[in-house]
Amino acid sequence: MSDDRSQILNMLKEGKISVSEAEELLDAIGKSSDDSGVVKKGASPPSSRKNPKYLHIKVEEAGKNGGKGENVNIRVPIQLLRAGVKLASVIPDKAKSKVDTALKDKGLNISFDDLEGDKLNELVESLAELSIDIDSEDEKVTIFCE
């Protein structure tokens, strides 16, 4: 373990910094030691973080006749997803099965039972790699995690 990591963990243990501050410091150390900051030609940029904090959705509408269009910029905390899953645990099984059936009818093969514990953590970690860009004549949509 590096001296910097040990020092951060000691500060956390002593209560000098919070868990979130420790995470940020450890992420910063990991970035500085792992990445030179240079993206090779043809390679995709590295993910901003292993555990994203926000799902970011941006919609930019092209203006008509040279004017400015409407823009939407939404940042949804990933913690909201975690809280929603925790709330889902109090939903009665009969209601869960009805929701699961309705989702399947709409083409979404997702179940509440699939979003618990390690599976939820895997989902959140996989969101770190999410990057969707859609360009059309009328609008540009970008979805990513940060």
Taking the domains of the chain in order of start, what are their residue ranges? 1-37, 48-146
Whether the pLDDT of residue 72 is over 80: the answer is: yes
Report residue 77 as tokens. Answer: 């905390």
Query: Where are the extended beta strands (E) located within 22-98?
Result: 54-61, 71-77
pLDDT for the residue 38:
42
pLDDT in tens, 10-34: 888 888 888 888 887 887 777 554 4
Q: pLDDT tens for residues 103-122?
A: 888 887 777 677 766 777 77
Mean pLDDT computed over every residue of the chain: 76
Task: Please give the Cα distance from 114 to 98 (Å, whole number).
Answer: 15
108 residue type, one letter: L
Global pTM reads 0.47
Give the C-alpha separation, 83 to 75, whole Å.
16
